[in-house]
Chain A
Amino acid sequence: DGGITQSPKYLFRKEGQNVTLSCEQNLNHDAMYWYRQDPGQGLRLIYYSQIVNDFQKGDIAEGYSVSREKKESFPLTVTSAQKNPTAFYLCASSILFRGGYGYTFGSGTRLTVV
Chain B
Amino acid sequence: AQSVTQLGSHVSVSEGALVLLRCNYSSSVPPYLFWYVQYPNQGLQLLLKYTTGATLVKGINGFEAEFKKSETSFHLTKPSAHMSDAAEYFCAVNEGSNYKLTFGKGTLLTVNP
> Which residues of A are at the interface with B, using a C-beta cutoff of 8 A?
4, 6, 31, 40-43, 48, 88, 90, 92, 94-108, 110
Binds A, one of B14-22, B59-67, B78-86, B102-110: B102-110
CB < 8 Å: which of A41, A88, A103 contacts B101? A103
Tally of chain B residues near chain A (CB < 8 A): 27
13 contacts between A and B (CB under 8 A): A6-B43, A42-B103, A43-B90, A48-B100, A95-B99, A98-B97, A99-B99, A100-B52, A100-B94, A102-B49, A105-B45, A108-B42, A108-B43
Q: How far is the CA of A31 from the CA of B97 in the complex (A)?
A: 13
Helix, strand, loop or mixed for chain A's interface?
loop
Nearest CB in chain B: distance from A1 CB, A: 14
Chain A: CB-nearest residue to B104: A42
Which residue among A96, A101, A102 has the maximum number of chain B CB atoms within 10 Å of its CB?
A102
> Is there an interface contact between A98 and B42, defined as CB atoms closer than 8 Å?
no
B44 CB–A CB distance under 8 Å: yes
Given contacts A96-B99, A99-B94, is CB(A42)–CB(B106) below 8 Å?
Answer: yes
Contact A102–B43 (Cβ < 8 Å): no
Contact A43 to B9, CB < 8 A, known contacts A102-B34, A105-B45:
no
